[in-house]
Chains A and B, each alone.
Chain A
Amino acid sequence: MSADRREWPLYEVFVRGKRGLNHVHVGSLHAPDDTMAVRHARDVYTRRNEGVSIWVVRADAITASSPDEKDPLFAPSGDKVYRHPTFYEIPGDVPHI
């Protein structure tokens, strides 16, 4: 109970459910290195054919937007309603549009 108290780094795990889909974040785990992180991810997150491909990323390598910045960061897209197809009125009898 001495040397092992140094914690293994935290990895975030992403799994591709099947071909054609994106890798999706499924959770996290600790591992001593990248290779072991993939092995652990297989055991912890894909015991029932949940995936065909795994990515692991050191959690400290991820840069995230800050929750405090939420408004300044995402607000500008809120008033650009013209970016959505429903903004445009098209007569009902025009087909295929």
Chain B
Amino acid sequence: MTTTPARPDQEERLQAAFDATIARHDRIEPRDWMPDPYRRTLVRQIAQHAHSEIIGMQPEGNWIGRAPSLRRKAILLAKVQDEAGHGLYLYAACETLGVSRAELTELLLTGRQKYSSIFNYPTLSYADVGTIGWLVDGAAICNQVPLCRTSYGPYGRAMIRICKEESFHQRQGYELLMTMMRGTSEQRAMVQESVDRFWWPALMMFGPPDTQSPNSERSMAWGIKRNSNDELRQKFVDMTVPQAEALGVTLPDPGLRWNEERGHHDFGEPDWAELAAVIRGDGPCNAQRLAHRRAAHEDGAWVREAATAFAERSAQDRTEAAAPTTTGEGGR
């Protein structure tokens, strides 16, 4: 799936064809020529996205064994399995850009590629399962729906599959919280406490403000991103406020209010120093998440080796069975 390097005289023609495809909002496909920075940006973004899905299995996986009913356990299992599936769709999309699965795994395990900072926060109470579905998956949906129209074909197709499934994730979370809000005052307090912890990190999921996001403009020019970080953050706040009211929880932002003039909610500034610290590796669970992922990868090594050995052995058996033999049980 690699393209041969273009000669300088060809390069101009190829660049023009690429620019024309982007300009008419058409898709770039794996074997098309593309500029190196476009390819590198995509590899970084898709890989980071894939890693986020895989690491994202941990915070909720934490509660599978302690889900309060068989119904809730089955839902949570299905959701965590979906996250694994989403990771696999995205790894497959990323590999079409000429990077191998082994490399991507290595980059995650050695911490050289990042995953979404939201997964470095702990899930301290069962209400967090609901809050993650509602706020974290809700923010993810805001980010991901426009990516269904991203300029790189395989990425867009993976996002379409993912978005269809994310809707279940958000709804199960909101329903879980509604159920708890109908429960005891202790349960309602658990929901509020959980929302208080996740609100600001959820807003940070959209990335730094546009003024501090130097690569955004280029990604938008290439059609990789379709909306700016601040636009999507605003959209998420506007969507979430009525949902919080219906649920009966307070969003922990004293500056949050409807602005008639703008037709949007005003809201406070997330703590960008905190986001920078979590990205740097100093979040509450960074070390734990990576250690767990490494251990899972190493613990699974024997399964991968056994499957490889079995496949080799079966291939060998088939070759021997196909070839006429003069030894063993008297030929034929």
A4-B305, A7-B102 known; A36 vs B311 contact (CB < 8 Å): yes
Categorize the interface residue count of chain B: 20 to 34
Report chain A residues within 8 Å CB of B88: 29, 44
Number of A-B contacts (CB under 8 A): 58
In the complex, what distance in Å separates the CA atom of A47 from the CA atom of B80? 12
Report chain B residues within 8 Å CB of A28: 92, 95
Q: Are the C-beta atoms of A30 and B101 separated by less than 8 Å?
A: yes
CB nearest to B88 among chain A residues: A44
Asked if A1 CB lies within 8 Å of chain B CBs, one says yes
- Majority-rule SS of A interface residues: mixed
Q: Are the C-beta atoms of A6 and B85 separated by less than 8 Å?
A: no
Q: Are the C-beta atoms of B82 and A47 separated by less than 8 Å?
A: yes
Q: Are the C-beta atoms of B311 and A32 separated by less than 8 Å?
A: yes
B25-72 CB contacts (< 8 Å) to partner A:
29, 31-33
Q: Are the C-beta atoms of B307 and A1 separated by less than 8 Å?
A: no
Report chain A residues within 8 Å CB of B311: 32-33, 36
B90-114 CB contacts (< 8 Å) to partner A:
92, 95, 100-102
Chain B nearest CB, measured from A14 CB (Å): 14
B271-311 CB contacts (< 8 Å) to partner A:
297-298, 301, 304-305, 307-308, 310-311
In the complex, what distance in Å separates the CA atom of A64 from the CA atom of B1? 11
Q: Are the C-beta atoms of B315 and A33 separated by less than 8 Å?
A: yes
In the complex, what distance in Å separates the CA atom of A3 from the CA atom of B92? 22
In the complex, what distance in Å separates the CA atom of A47 from the CA atom of B308? 25
Asked if B81 CB lies within 8 Å of chain A CBs, one says yes
A7-58 CB contacts (< 8 Å) to partner B:
7-8, 10, 26-30, 32-33, 36, 43-44, 47-48
Report chain B residues within 8 Å CB of A48: 165
CB nearest to B92 among chain A residues: A28
9 shortest interchain CB distances as A-B pairs: A33-B311, A32-B311, A4-B304, A32-B307, A28-B92, A67-B31, A3-B305, A32-B308, A4-B301
List the interface of chain B (C-beta within 8 A of A): 29, 31-33, 78, 81-82, 85, 88-89, 92, 95, 100-102, 157-158, 161, 165, 297-298, 301, 304-305, 307-308, 310-311, 314-315
What would 26 A/B residue contacts be, using CB atoms closer than 8 Å? A1-B298, A3-B301, A3-B308, A5-B102, A7-B102, A8-B304, A10-B95, A26-B161, A27-B89, A27-B92, A27-B161, A28-B92, A29-B88, A29-B92, A30-B101, A32-B304, A32-B307, A33-B310, A44-B85, A44-B89, A47-B78, A47-B82, A48-B165, A66-B31, A67-B29, A67-B33
